[in-house]
Amino acid sequence: MTNETTNQDALAACIAWFCRYGRNPAFRIIQKAPAKLPDIRHSTFVISPMPSELPSLNGDMTMSQVLQAYPGAQRALFARYHIGGCRSCGFQPGETLAQVCERNENIPVAEAIAHIQDSHQGDASLQISPHDFEQLRGAIPDIVILDVRTREEHEAVKLPGARLLTQELVQEIFTSGDKTKTLVLYDHTGSRSLDAAAYFIGHGFAETKCLSGGIDAYSQEIDPSLPRYRIEIEA
């Protein structure tokens, strides 16, 4: 297999990813409170460990509650059991985890819970907190910051120095990007960027992280001058 074929396959996979997630939802700015950006840069940089205690999870919880506690649960269930990735294998927010397991070949609930929690811990290793991200920006001035949201969101509000992750940019990075450089991906609230980060890591960009809580958390914890907004999905 040639390098050209590999790059084409990678781009094709990326296009499929964008088709799945690259919708254009309506959104509203809900807060705009200018404030001075706190100076938290230091001469040394250490990533703080993510919390080790796992949220409670049991078969009687609705899928809405499961996803609130474990944002990557749907991705984890689809990866192992092909649950939740399309209309034919989807689930309703009000269904319990036990009900979803039962109608999908009676998957043992304990097994599904263990898989969700294992995947959650793997997700945590990919994340960087807003405070650690700000320190990292000070330590690595040329850090690559990629925005995986829609173009409309990016144009409304973005992190300084961020580039919108388009299909063309992905092709550019895969073709000539430095795989030793640090990449930080972010979205609105930190859920979609995990998929993108895993995708980049799977293609050799081992120093890829995603911003925990997304730009919304960054606005709340680091720079309140960045306006917050609410997504409103159009019918």
Q: With respect to residue 155, please indicate whether it lies within any of the assigned structural domains.
A: yes
Tens of pLDDT, residue by residue over 168-197, are: 999 999 999 999 999 999 999 987 888 888
- Residue 50 maps to a domain: no
Give the pLDDT band (50/70/90) at residue 8: very low
Q: Are residues 94 and 160 in the same domain?
A: no
Q: Are residues 218 and 134 in the same domain?
A: yes
Q: Are residues 133 and 179 in the same domain?
A: yes
- Looking at the fold, whether 120 and 134 belong to one and the same domain comes out as no
Strands (E), 67-215: 127-128, 144-147, 163-164, 183-186, 208-211
Number of domains in the chain: 2
Asked if residue 226 and residue 145 are part of one domain, the reply reads yes
> Residues 187, 157: one domain?
yes
Question: Whole domain around residue 28: which residue ranges?
Answer: 3-36+129-232
Residue 150 in any domain: the answer is yes
- pTM, whole model, 2 decimals? 0.64
Taking alpha carbons only, the member of 116, 125, 123 closest to residue 74 is 116
For residues 108 and 216, membership in a common domain is answered with no
Percentage of the chain modeled with pLDDT above 70: 75
Mention every residue, 6+ apart, whose C-beta is less than 8 A from residue 62: 93, 94, 95, 96, 97
All residues at 6 or more sequence positions from 57 whose CB lies less than 8 Å from its CB, including other chains: 66, 69, 70, 97, 113, 116, 117
What's residue 192's pLDDT? 81
Co-location of 79 and 192 in the same domain:
no
**Domain end (from 125, 145, 170):** 125
How far is residue 28's CA from residue 153's CA, in Å, rounded to a whole number?
Answer: 10
Q: Does the residue 176 lie in any domain?
A: yes
49-63, 131-145, 151-165: least confident range = 49-63
What CATH number is given to the structural domain containing 133?
3.40.250.10
Report whether pLDDT(11) > 80: no
How far are the Cα atoms of 153, 160, 183, 192 from residue 28, in angstroms, in the given order? 10, 21, 28, 19
Q: Look at residues 125, 143, 163 and tell me which one is the last residue of a structural domain.
A: 125
* Mean pLDDT computed over 207-220: 95
The whole-number pLDDT of residue 111 equals 97
Q: Is residue 210 part of a domain?
A: yes
Assess whether 133 and 107 both reside in one domain.
no
Nearest alpha-carbon partner for 208 in 127, 121, 154: 127
